[in-house]
Every structure is written in C-alpha cells, then in structure tokens.
Amino acid sequence: IESPYEHIKVSTPKPGVGLITLNRPKALNALFTPLFIELNDCLRKFDADDSIGATVLTGSQKAFAAGADIKEMKDKSFADAYGHDFIELWSSTITSLKKPLISAVNGYALGGGCELALMTDIIYTSTNATFGQPEIKLGVIPGAGGSQRLTRAIGKSRAMDLILTGENFSGKQAYEWGVAAKCFETPEECVEGALATAEKIVGMGRLAVKAAKEVVNKSQDLGIRDGVEYERRIFHGLFGSRDQKIGMTAFAEKKKAEWSNE
C-alpha cells in the first residue's frame, strides 16, 4: 500500500511497533505545518489502533530535524503567529498521546527539532547527534516548550547557558545530562535500540503501560505531594484490572504472564 503521506514515512517494523521517519531530506527535516498535519494524523491513528502498542519517531542520520522552517517563518507577523496559533498544532497531539512515543535522535536536533524530541516520552540518541536551541541567534526564543522542558531536564543554569548563547550540545552530553536515556555509537544502533525498547514495552500489559506513562507525566506538572497521591490512586485502581491478577499470579506460579489488556 502506498503511503498516504508526503513528509513522513510510516511502517510497522516489529509486531505492535510503529515507526515514523521524518522525510524532508532537502531541508534537513525542517519543521512546518504540512509535516505536522501528517505526523499528527499518523500518531492519532497509531494511538487509536489496538494492534499498535508503542511508536518510534526518527529522522535521518544527518538530521532528526534542523528546527522550524526559518524560510517559512521569517515573514510571519504577530497576527500570523499568535492569531493562527502557529505551533499549537505542533505540540497539542504529540503531548496528549496515551501510548509511549520514543524518539531516536541522530544528526541535528536544533530549535523546534530539539523541542520535538523533548515532547517525546523517551529520547535515545547517538554520538553523531547535535542538539541545541539556537533561536537566540535568530532574534527569538524557543517557542515549542524548549525553555520549559529543557530546563526541567537539565536544570536552570545549564539551560540558561545553552538558550542564551545558542550553543549546541552533543548526543553524548544529552545522555550525560539526562536529556537522553541512552546514547549509542551509531545512528543505526540508536534506531534499533529504540525499536527494541518499543517491542519490550509492547510485551507489557497495555493498561499498566498507559497508567505508567500517565503518572510519570504528572510528575512534570504536579508538586510532590499531589503527584504521589495521584500515583497512589492510579496504582490502587489497577487492582481492578485482570492484568494485575494475571501478572502477580504468573509470578507466584513462576510462569510468563499472558496479558489480557483488561
């Protein structure tokens, strides 16, 4: 079947695992609204598809995404930007998905590209990756959550240092600072590693995976007391699931759990 998309490539390389590859090679995957319309459409379909349990988002070896499309942005007015909710469409779907989204970041992840990666649930990267928030050099600031998500990820002093100077940081630094969960030697290993993790997640019960993602995300919005209470409610709720019985009984009987997803 021919892909219905122009700016992304889509496949299911392993059972239950979706793979989306940003595909605007001539512009180093510069981000613009037509690409996000396709990306959102595909992510929504995967989120609603019972046969998919987790998705990997990647770019090319040269660029995950070199940022928002500067040529498209340069003549925008305040009314264009604010009035037409430029960027809202870029983040609203990705940050409200229920199933895990793992990014495999190789090459340039600059500006909006870095911010896109920061919107995903887990970042894997490789030694060839270059992250950065260079917006200051263009006379603006991060606009897709970078000042908030990067600061939460690496702390205020480091985030200020990067955002005020526009200096890049490497995949290895991203890993050492906790932006990325893993750093691989090569881009191929990075994508394979992300797919392997997605496959592992697909092997877990769907309800527990959904709940786990939900509570970890709450930690970004709530204070510790409210966050722990929130977690407790969801944890207690899972005792109403069949999978809790299945998982704990399987452990007690030294068997492999066969999830019901109920």
Active site residue 16: no
The residue of the chain with the least Cβ separation from ligand HXC equals 111
Kindly state whether residue 112 participates in binding ligand HXC, applying the rule CB under 6 A: yes
HSE at residue 180, side-chain half, CA atoms within 13 A, is: 28
Size of the residue set binding ligand HXC (CB under 6 A)? 22
Strands 63-65, 108-110: pairing is parallel
Write out the binding residues for ligand HXC, residues 119-178 only, by CB under 6 A: 134-135, 138, 142-144
Q: Hey, which residues does 102 pair with through a beta bridge?
A: 56, 122
Write out the binding residues for ligand HXC, residues 55-84 only, by CB under 6 A: 66-71
Active site residue 68: yes
Contact, 95 vs 119, CB < 8 A? yes
Closest distance to ligand HXC from the beta carbon of 147 (Å): 10
The CA distance from 32 to 171, in Å, is 24
The CA distance from 130 to 158, in Å, is 16
Kindly state whether residue 24 participates in binding ligand HXC, applying the rule CB under 6 A: no
Active site residue 205: no
Active site residue 65: no
Closest distance to ligand HXC from the beta carbon of 124 (Å): 20
Contact, 209 vs 201, CB < 8 A? yes
Q: Which of 30, 65, 68, 117 is catalytic?
A: 68
Q: Which of 18, 59, 112, 146 is catalytic?
A: 112
Q: Hey, which residues does 57 pair with through a beta bridge?
A: 20, 103
Which residues participate in catalysis according to the annotation? 68, 112, 115, 135
